[in-house]
Structure 1
Amino acid sequence: MKEGQAADESIFVGLMNAVNWFDEAFQNSLEAAGYARTTRVESFVIVNIAAGRQRPADIARNLGVSRQAISQILKAFAERGWIVTRPDPNHGKAQIVMFSAAFSERAELCGHIITGIVRELEQRIGGAAVEALKLSMTADWGTPPRITIPAIGEAPTSIDSAAPLPALASKRGPGAVQS
Protein backbone atom coordinates (compact mmCIF):
# COMPACT_ATOMS: atom_id res chain seq x y z
CA MET A 1 0.00 0.00 0.00
CA LYS A 2 1.39 3.39 -0.96
CA GLU A 3 1.59 6.29 1.47
CA GLY A 4 -1.11 8.34 -0.34
CA GLN A 5 -3.51 5.41 -0.39
CA ALA A 6 -2.96 4.82 3.33
CA ALA A 7 -3.73 8.50 3.96
CA ASP A 8 -6.92 8.21 1.89
CA GLU A 9 -7.99 5.08 3.76
CA SER A 10 -7.28 6.83 7.05
CA ILE A 11 -10.15 9.22 6.27
CA PHE A 12 -12.59 6.30 6.14
CA VAL A 13 -11.17 4.70 9.28
CA GLY A 14 -11.04 8.10 10.98
CA LEU A 15 -14.73 8.70 10.27
CA MET A 16 -15.61 5.34 11.81
CA ASN A 17 -13.37 6.03 14.82
CA ALA A 18 -14.97 9.45 15.26
CA VAL A 19 -18.47 7.95 15.25
CA ASN A 20 -17.36 5.40 17.84
CA TRP A 21 -15.72 8.12 19.98
CA PHE A 22 -18.81 10.36 19.87
CA ASP A 23 -21.16 7.50 20.71
CA GLU A 24 -18.98 6.28 23.58
CA ALA A 25 -18.83 9.84 24.97
CA PHE A 26 -22.62 10.09 24.56
CA GLN A 27 -23.20 6.77 26.36
CA ASN A 28 -20.74 7.61 29.16
CA SER A 29 -22.49 10.94 29.69
CA LEU A 30 -25.96 9.37 29.78
CA GLU A 31 -24.68 6.95 32.41
CA ALA A 32 -23.10 9.77 34.43
CA ALA A 33 -26.48 11.55 34.40
CA GLY A 34 -28.15 8.46 35.86
CA TYR A 35 -29.68 7.05 32.68
CA ALA A 36 -29.11 3.58 31.27
CA ARG A 37 -26.92 3.26 28.22
CA THR A 38 -28.74 2.79 24.93
CA THR A 39 -27.62 0.67 22.01
CA ARG A 40 -25.61 2.45 19.35
CA VAL A 41 -28.50 2.27 16.89
CA GLU A 42 -30.88 3.67 19.52
CA SER A 43 -28.56 6.60 20.19
CA PHE A 44 -28.27 7.23 16.43
CA VAL A 45 -32.07 7.28 16.16
CA ILE A 46 -32.34 9.66 19.14
CA VAL A 47 -29.79 12.00 17.55
CA ASN A 48 -31.65 11.88 14.22
CA ILE A 49 -34.96 12.79 15.87
CA ALA A 50 -33.23 15.55 17.86
CA ALA A 51 -31.79 16.85 14.56
CA GLY A 52 -35.33 17.22 13.19
CA ARG A 53 -35.77 14.02 11.19
CA GLN A 54 -39.34 12.95 11.91
CA ARG A 55 -40.21 10.50 9.14
CA PRO A 56 -39.11 6.92 9.86
CA ALA A 57 -38.13 6.47 6.20
CA ASP A 58 -35.78 9.48 6.43
CA ILE A 59 -34.21 8.14 9.63
CA ALA A 60 -33.73 4.71 8.02
CA ARG A 61 -32.19 6.24 4.89
CA ASN A 62 -29.83 8.40 6.93
CA LEU A 63 -28.66 5.43 8.99
CA GLY A 64 -28.50 3.03 6.06
CA VAL A 65 -30.89 0.51 7.58
CA SER A 66 -34.29 -0.81 6.59
CA ARG A 67 -37.52 0.95 7.47
CA GLN A 68 -38.56 -2.24 9.24
CA ALA A 69 -35.53 -2.02 11.54
CA ILE A 70 -36.32 1.61 12.37
CA SER A 71 -39.99 0.70 12.91
CA GLN A 72 -38.97 -1.88 15.51
CA ILE A 73 -36.78 0.64 17.34
CA LEU A 74 -39.50 3.30 17.21
CA LYS A 75 -42.06 0.79 18.49
CA ALA A 76 -39.76 0.08 21.47
CA PHE A 77 -39.32 3.84 22.02
CA ALA A 78 -43.11 4.30 21.99
CA GLU A 79 -43.54 1.44 24.49
CA ARG A 80 -41.01 3.17 26.78
CA GLY A 81 -42.92 6.43 26.39
CA TRP A 82 -40.02 8.20 24.65
CA ILE A 83 -41.81 9.17 21.43
CA VAL A 84 -45.25 9.84 20.06
CA THR A 85 -46.39 9.31 16.48
CA ARG A 86 -48.69 11.54 14.51
CA PRO A 87 -50.03 11.42 10.95
CA ASP A 88 -47.70 13.22 8.57
CA PRO A 89 -49.73 16.17 7.26
CA ASN A 90 -47.66 16.18 4.06
CA HIS A 91 -47.64 12.47 3.17
CA GLY A 92 -51.05 10.83 3.48
CA LYS A 93 -50.69 7.54 5.35
CA ALA A 94 -47.14 8.23 6.58
CA GLN A 95 -46.38 8.88 10.24
CA ILE A 96 -43.98 11.30 11.87
CA VAL A 97 -42.29 10.79 15.22
CA MET A 98 -41.34 13.26 17.91
CA PHE A 99 -40.14 13.07 21.47
CA SER A 100 -42.91 12.72 24.04
CA ALA A 101 -43.45 15.21 26.83
CA ALA A 102 -42.23 12.50 29.24
CA PHE A 103 -38.94 12.26 27.29
CA SER A 104 -38.44 16.03 26.96
CA GLU A 105 -36.10 16.29 29.97
CA ARG A 106 -33.95 13.47 28.62
CA ALA A 107 -34.07 14.93 25.11
CA GLU A 108 -32.87 18.27 26.49
CA LEU A 109 -30.13 16.44 28.39
CA CYS A 110 -29.08 14.72 25.14
CA GLY A 111 -28.75 18.13 23.48
CA HIS A 112 -26.58 19.39 26.35
CA ILE A 113 -24.46 16.24 26.19
CA ILE A 114 -23.85 16.67 22.46
CA THR A 115 -22.90 20.33 22.95
CA GLY A 116 -20.60 19.32 25.81
CA ILE A 117 -18.92 16.65 23.68
CA VAL A 118 -18.25 19.19 20.93
CA ARG A 119 -16.82 21.67 23.49
CA GLU A 120 -14.58 18.91 24.87
CA LEU A 121 -13.41 18.09 21.36
CA GLU A 122 -12.58 21.78 20.83
CA GLN A 123 -10.41 21.65 23.95
CA ARG A 124 -8.65 18.53 22.71
CA ILE A 125 -8.04 19.30 19.03
CA GLY A 126 -8.73 23.04 18.80
CA GLY A 127 -11.61 25.22 17.72
CA ALA A 128 -10.31 25.63 14.16
CA ALA A 129 -10.09 21.85 13.68
CA VAL A 130 -13.64 21.38 15.01
CA GLU A 131 -14.93 24.16 12.75
CA ALA A 132 -13.22 22.52 9.74
CA LEU A 133 -14.77 19.20 10.77
CA LYS A 134 -18.23 20.80 10.98
CA LEU A 135 -17.81 22.39 7.54
CA SER A 136 -16.63 19.09 6.05
CA MET A 137 -19.42 17.05 7.61
CA THR A 138 -22.17 19.48 6.61
CA ALA A 139 -20.92 20.11 3.06
CA ASP A 140 -22.99 18.70 0.21
CA TRP A 141 -20.92 15.72 -0.91
CA GLY A 142 -23.38 14.90 -3.68
CA THR A 143 -24.54 11.44 -4.63
CA PRO A 144 -22.10 8.71 -3.56
CA PRO A 145 -20.03 7.71 -6.61
CA ARG A 146 -19.28 4.25 -7.95
CA ILE A 147 -15.56 3.94 -8.58
CA THR A 148 -14.37 1.52 -11.26
CA ILE A 149 -11.44 -0.76 -10.59
CA PRO A 150 -8.95 -0.05 -13.38
CA ALA A 151 -6.89 -2.47 -15.41
CA ILE A 152 -3.21 -2.52 -14.50
CA GLY A 153 -1.60 0.76 -15.48
CA GLU A 154 -4.86 2.70 -15.82
CA ALA A 155 -6.22 5.31 -13.45
CA PRO A 156 -9.48 4.57 -11.60
CA THR A 157 -12.47 6.60 -12.69
CA SER A 158 -15.76 7.65 -11.22
CA ILE A 159 -18.65 6.16 -13.19
CA ASP A 160 -20.64 9.30 -12.40
CA SER A 161 -18.12 11.82 -13.73
CA ALA A 162 -15.77 9.67 -15.86
CA ALA A 163 -12.99 11.86 -14.48
CA PRO A 164 -9.68 10.07 -13.94
CA LEU A 165 -8.81 9.65 -10.29
CA PRO A 166 -5.30 9.36 -8.81
CA ALA A 167 -3.45 6.15 -9.62
CA LEU A 168 -4.52 3.15 -7.57
CA ALA A 169 -1.86 1.40 -5.54
CA SER A 170 -2.65 -2.23 -5.98
CA LYS A 171 -1.18 -5.65 -5.35
CA ARG A 172 -2.13 -6.25 -8.99
CA GLY A 173 0.63 -3.89 -10.17
CA PRO A 174 3.95 -4.80 -11.77
CA GLY A 175 5.78 -7.54 -9.93
CA ALA A 176 2.70 -8.61 -7.99
CA VAL A 177 2.03 -12.28 -7.57
CA GLN A 178 -1.24 -13.10 -9.28
CA SER A 179 -3.54 -15.57 -7.55
Structure 2
Amino acid sequence: MHRSLSQLLGEGRRWFDDGLSAAMEAAGATPVSPAQLQLFSVLDPEGTTVSELARRMGVTRQTAHQAAHGLIAAGLLEQVPDPGSARRRLVRRTAEGERAHRLAASVLTRLEDRLAERIGGEAVAALRGALEAGWGEPPSLG
Protein backbone atom coordinates (compact mmCIF):
# COMPACT_ATOMS: atom_id res chain seq x y z
CA MET A 1 0.00 0.00 0.00
CA HIS A 2 1.38 3.38 -1.03
CA ARG A 3 0.99 5.98 1.72
CA SER A 4 1.11 9.69 0.98
CA LEU A 5 3.81 11.88 2.41
CA SER A 6 1.07 13.59 4.45
CA GLN A 7 0.14 10.25 6.05
CA LEU A 8 3.80 9.46 6.76
CA LEU A 9 4.35 12.86 8.37
CA GLY A 10 1.27 12.30 10.53
CA GLU A 11 2.57 8.88 11.62
CA GLY A 12 5.93 10.44 12.47
CA ARG A 13 4.22 13.12 14.54
CA ARG A 14 2.21 10.45 16.40
CA TRP A 15 5.43 8.49 17.07
CA PHE A 16 6.89 11.54 18.84
CA ASP A 17 3.60 12.40 20.60
CA ASP A 18 3.13 8.83 21.85
CA GLY A 19 6.75 8.61 23.05
CA LEU A 20 6.48 11.98 24.76
CA SER A 21 3.19 11.12 26.45
CA ALA A 22 4.51 7.78 27.72
CA ALA A 23 7.71 9.34 29.10
CA MET A 24 5.84 12.21 30.75
CA GLU A 25 3.38 9.78 32.33
CA ALA A 26 6.25 7.60 33.58
CA ALA A 27 7.80 10.72 35.14
CA GLY A 28 4.54 11.48 36.96
CA ALA A 29 3.69 14.56 34.90
CA THR A 30 0.10 15.71 34.49
CA PRO A 31 -1.47 13.83 31.53
CA VAL A 32 -2.34 16.06 28.57
CA SER A 33 -4.16 15.54 25.28
CA PRO A 34 -2.48 15.74 21.86
CA ALA A 35 -4.10 19.17 21.32
CA GLN A 36 -2.74 20.36 24.65
CA LEU A 37 0.73 19.04 23.72
CA GLN A 38 0.54 21.02 20.49
CA LEU A 39 -0.58 24.17 22.31
CA PHE A 40 2.31 23.86 24.74
CA SER A 41 4.75 23.57 21.82
CA VAL A 42 3.63 26.84 20.15
CA LEU A 43 3.39 28.95 23.33
CA ASP A 44 5.83 31.86 23.64
CA PRO A 45 7.75 32.03 26.97
CA GLU A 46 6.26 35.46 27.80
CA GLY A 47 2.75 34.31 26.88
CA THR A 48 0.54 34.19 23.82
CA THR A 49 -3.07 35.18 23.11
CA VAL A 50 -5.60 32.41 22.49
CA SER A 51 -6.23 33.81 18.99
CA GLU A 52 -2.54 33.54 18.13
CA LEU A 53 -2.36 30.03 19.61
CA ALA A 54 -5.30 29.01 17.39
CA ARG A 55 -3.55 30.44 14.30
CA ARG A 56 -0.29 28.63 15.10
CA MET A 57 -2.08 25.35 15.79
CA GLY A 58 -4.29 25.64 12.70
CA VAL A 59 -7.46 25.19 14.76
CA THR A 60 -10.47 27.29 15.70
CA ARG A 61 -10.22 29.81 18.52
CA GLN A 62 -12.71 27.68 20.47
CA THR A 63 -10.49 24.58 20.17
CA ALA A 64 -7.44 26.54 21.33
CA HIS A 65 -9.48 28.04 24.17
CA GLN A 66 -10.61 24.59 25.34
CA ALA A 67 -7.05 23.23 25.21
CA ALA A 68 -5.71 26.25 27.10
CA HIS A 69 -8.36 26.09 29.78
CA GLY A 70 -7.73 22.39 30.34
CA LEU A 71 -4.07 23.22 30.95
CA ILE A 72 -5.04 26.15 33.19
CA ALA A 73 -7.26 23.81 35.24
CA ALA A 74 -4.32 21.39 35.49
CA GLY A 75 -2.11 24.16 36.88
CA LEU A 76 0.30 24.14 33.91
CA LEU A 77 -0.81 27.47 32.39
CA GLU A 78 -2.24 30.74 33.66
CA GLN A 79 -3.91 33.77 32.08
CA VAL A 80 -2.43 37.21 32.73
CA PRO A 81 -3.12 40.71 31.40
CA ASP A 82 -1.23 41.61 28.22
CA PRO A 83 1.08 44.53 29.09
CA GLY A 84 0.71 45.79 25.50
CA SER A 85 -3.10 45.89 25.47
CA ALA A 86 -5.60 46.42 28.26
CA ARG A 87 -8.19 44.33 26.39
CA ARG A 88 -6.13 41.20 25.72
CA ARG A 89 -4.99 38.42 27.99
CA LEU A 90 -1.98 36.18 27.55
CA VAL A 91 -1.71 32.49 28.28
CA ARG A 92 1.66 31.53 29.77
CA ARG A 93 3.29 28.67 31.66
CA THR A 94 3.16 28.48 35.44
CA ALA A 95 6.21 27.32 37.40
CA GLU A 96 4.85 23.76 37.14
CA GLY A 97 4.26 24.29 33.43
CA GLU A 98 7.89 25.42 33.03
CA ARG A 99 9.08 22.23 34.76
CA ALA A 100 6.89 20.13 32.47
CA HIS A 101 8.16 22.06 29.43
CA ARG A 102 11.82 21.42 30.37
CA LEU A 103 11.08 17.73 30.95
CA ALA A 104 9.30 17.50 27.58
CA ALA A 105 12.23 19.17 25.80
CA SER A 106 14.60 16.64 27.36
CA VAL A 107 12.34 13.74 26.34
CA LEU A 108 12.09 15.03 22.77
CA THR A 109 15.88 15.21 22.52
CA ARG A 110 16.10 11.60 23.71
CA LEU A 111 13.43 10.57 21.19
CA GLU A 112 15.41 12.21 18.38
CA ASP A 113 18.50 10.32 19.58
CA ARG A 114 16.52 7.07 19.55
CA LEU A 115 15.26 7.81 16.05
CA ALA A 116 18.86 8.42 14.91
CA GLU A 117 19.83 5.02 16.35
CA ARG A 118 17.02 3.39 14.37
CA ILE A 119 17.22 5.12 10.99
CA GLY A 120 20.67 6.73 11.12
CA GLY A 121 21.97 10.15 12.01
CA GLU A 122 22.26 11.20 8.38
CA ALA A 123 18.62 10.32 7.71
CA VAL A 124 17.52 12.34 10.75
CA ALA A 125 19.66 15.30 9.64
CA ALA A 126 18.21 15.11 6.12
CA LEU A 127 14.67 14.91 7.51
CA ARG A 128 15.31 17.93 9.74
CA GLY A 129 16.77 19.85 6.80
CA ALA A 130 13.78 19.09 4.58
CA LEU A 131 11.30 20.08 7.29
CA GLU A 132 13.17 23.30 8.12
CA ALA A 133 13.37 24.39 4.47
CA GLY A 134 11.05 27.21 3.48
CA TRP A 135 8.11 25.47 1.83
CA GLY A 136 6.22 28.67 1.08
CA GLU A 137 2.45 28.99 1.03
CA PRO A 138 0.49 25.90 -0.04
CA PRO A 139 -0.08 26.04 -3.81
CA SER A 140 -3.51 26.44 -5.32
CA LEU A 141 -3.95 23.29 -7.39
CA GLY A 142 -7.57 23.96 -8.37
Which TM-score applies when normalising by structure 1?
0.69
**What is the one-letter code of the residue matched to 1:82?**
L
Please point out which of 122, 138, 141 is paired with 1:144: 138
Task: Report the aligned-residue RMSD.
Answer: 2.4
Please point out which of 40, 44, 48 is paired with 2:42: 48
Report the counterpart of residue 120 of structure 1 in structure 2.
114
3-state DSSP class of the match of 2:90? strand
CA shift, 1:41, in A, is: 0.9
Please point out which of 92, 95, 98 is paired with 1:101: 95
Report the counterpart of residue 19 of structure 1 in structure 2.
13
| Structure with larger RCO (C-alpha < 8 A, sep 6+) | 2
Identical pairs, percent: 27
**What is the one-letter code of the residue matched to 1:103?**
G
Report the counterpart of residue 28 of structure 1 in structure 2.
22
Mean Cα deviation higher: 35-44 or 45-54: 45-54
1:83 maps to 2:77: yes
CA shift, 1:25, in A, is: 0.7
Report the counterpart of residue 154 of structure 1 in structure 2.
none
CA shift, 1:123, in A, is: 1.1
Report the counterpart of residue 56 of structure 2 in structure 1.
62
Provide structure 1 residue ranges, at least 5 long, that are not aligned to the other structure.
Answer: 1-5, 149-179
Paired residues, number: 142
Mean Cα deviation higher: 50-59 or 63-72: 50-59
Q: Which has the higher strand share?
A: 2
CA distance in structure 2 between the partners assigned to 1:87 and 1:59 by the alignment: 16
The structure-2 alpha-carbon separation of the partners of 1:125 and 1:109, relative to structure 1 and needing over 3 Å to count, comes to same
The structure-2 alpha-carbon separation of the partners of 1:30 and 1:50, relative to structure 1 and needing over 3 Å to count, comes to farther
Alignment of 1:146-165 (within 5 A): 146-148=140-142
The structure-2 alpha-carbon separation of the partners of 1:129 and 1:58, relative to structure 1 and needing over 3 Å to count, comes to farther
Q: Which has the higher helix share?
A: 2
Provide structure 2 residue ranges, at least 5 long, that are not aligned to the other structure.
Answer: none
Which TM-score applies when normalising by structure 2?
0.85
